[in-house]
Structures are given as C-alpha cells and as structure tokens.
Amino acid sequence: MNQIIQLFETTFTDPAMVKLAIYLIAGIAGITLAIALSSLVSGLYSPVKKQLNKLSKESIQPDDLAKEYESSLEHTIDKLNNVPFINKRYQGDSSTKKLLIHAGFHSQDALKIFNSIKLLLLLISGALVTLLINQISTYSTSTTIYIILFVLGTAYLLPGLILHKIAKRRMADLKRYFPDALDLLIVCCESGLGLLESFQRVAKELKLAHPYLSYELNLVCSKVRYGLTLQQALKEFSDRTGLDDIRGLNSVIVQSLRLGTGVAATIRIYSDEYREKRLQAAEENAAKLGVKMIFPMMCCIWPSFFIVAIGPAILKVMNVWGDAF
C-alpha cells in the first residue's frame, strides 16, 4: 500500500489529490466488483426467473423444446429489438452476442456471465498488480504505469480473444462436417422423408460423429415444433452458424418451398455446385502452394544447402589466402 501511495505522490504533488485519487480508485473497484458479482449471480441463478418458471408450471406445462427456444440468446435479441428505447442500448454488445452464439453459448444469460468474467478478471489482475507493486516499483514511474496498463489491458481483452478462438474453431468444425450432413440430407429426402423428418434423421445419425452440427439441426426441428415457420428456423440456423455454405443451402430450400419445386432435386443440384466450389477452392490452394513455399525455402532450406555445398570450398579459399599473406 505504501508503494501505491508513493506512486501517486510522484504523479500528483498535492496531498489532497493523492488522497482523492486513492479514494476514487477504491470506489471504482468496489462498484465494479459489486456489478460483476451481481451480474454473475443473476446470470447463474435468478430468483425472478425461478418464480416465473414456477408460475408458468402451475398454469401451463411447456415442453423442453419451448423452454430451449425461450431461453436462447438469439430469441432474447429478437425480443429486445422489438422493444422501444432498448434497441440502441444493446447495440454495442451485438458483436459479442454474435460471437457467443457462434461459439455455441445460446443461453440468454451468456452475455451477463461473459461480462462478469471480464470484470472479475480485470479486478483479479488489479489485485495481482497491487500485490506485486513492490517488485515493479523499482522501475521508473512511466515504466510502472505502462506495466500496470499492459496487465489490465491484457486481462480485459483476454476473454474476448478466447471467445473468438472458440467461435472460430466451432465454425471450422461445422464447415468441415457440413458435406457429410448434406449427403445424408439428400439420401433422406430422396428416400421419401419430409424435410423436417430428414433434418431429424440427419441429426440422429451425426450425433456421435459430428455433435455440433447434430445439435444445430435438432435446434431447427425444435423451433419448428415450437411454432416457428421452417423459413424462420432456417434463417436462425444460418445466423447461429455464421457460415455462407449453410446460408446458401437455406436460401435454396426456402426458394424451393416458395416455388413448389422438388426439395430433393434442388438440394442435389446445390450439392453438385457445392462440390465443384470445393474442388475449385482446393485447386486454388494448390496453385498458391508454390508461391508460399518460396519463403520457407529461401529462409530455411537454401542456407543449409549453400553451407553444405559451398562451405568447404570457401574454407579452402580462406586457407589459401591465409597462407599467401
């Protein structure tokens, strides 16, 4: 604590300003801790939500599919967008909400828990900096301030980076599993099953091999059973995954349903185009491989080759010139 006071005394010359700065930082830390704990508690356990669920159970017994839809984060976003004066308030967290949805966190309390984790990590890093102030106070005042800002900034940005990595990995897994699901969907549709039954069967078959995609397909069927139209459920499916491939499949299915054409034939045509697109992407990556290999060869392979091939000759020349002079 004395080191912190000395740090403030080197920054401010007035003792009253030093005392005011300490009180201000302590107040901000206390308020931040209270907000983080309240958000975390309300996200994990909400008495109001428990009471509402109790009242709803006494009147109507909803099924598990309805509960899953009502508690989803994307459904909460849709409800907030329809409420006046609240839409602008939550627009700042739209990118975080999309990342949470893409990462597979569909609970409506996911945003609260994520923000609480960010605040708690920020407070923990601040406490660690306070404990280690004796070690870092040996540096100059500007260097100490830079170290503190670096630690706090890292603690604030780290949860977002981890969430972005989780979302990116999940989207990559969905993209890798999508061709298998597309082939199974064609087989189910051509065998005589309806589109919704085909989604259910594909989700069942992919439950062990591709659990992420199976969960998303089951969620589509759940929302259709809850009362959404198939077009709305497919649109939310593409928004949750964030993949252009799934968005293209959904647009093809919706267009087929509107025009009354055969869904199986439409999906097969899309599958052929998708295979051709993947083949073109593979050929493009293969064409880029030669250019990408230039830099590793120049930096890693060629120096070793020159050392082995020309090194002995250079040593002999150096010995000859050394004997000559």
Cβ atoms of 247 and 231 within 8 Å: the answer is no
**Using CA atoms, how far apart are residues 190 and 184, in angstroms rounded to an integer?**
10
Q: Consecutive sets of 10 residues in the chain, 325 residues long: mean pLDDT of each?
A: 56 63 67 66 54 45 47 53 44 74 83 86 82 71 80 88 92 88 90 88 89 89 86 87 87 86 87 88 87 83 83 83 69
Whole-prediction pTM: 0.64
Distance of alpha carbon 39 from its chain centroid, rounded?
Answer: 21
What is the H or E stretch that residue 143 is in?
A: helix 141-190
- Sorted by where each begins, the domain ranges of the chain are 2-168, 170-289
Q: Which pLDDT does position 148 carry in this prediction?
A: 80
> At residue 10, what are phi and psi to the nearest 5 degrees?
-75, -25
Query: How many other C-beta atoms are found inside a 10 Å radius of the C-beta of residue 275?
Result: 13
Helices and strands in the chain, H and E counts: 16, 0
- Cα separation of 183 and 181, whole Å? 5
8 Å CB contact between 181 and 210: yes
Q: Which residues contact 185 (CB under 8 A, 6 or more apart)?
A: 198, 199, 202, 267
CA distance 39 to 66: 25
CA 49 to chain centre: 27
CATH number of the 170-289 domain: 1.20.81
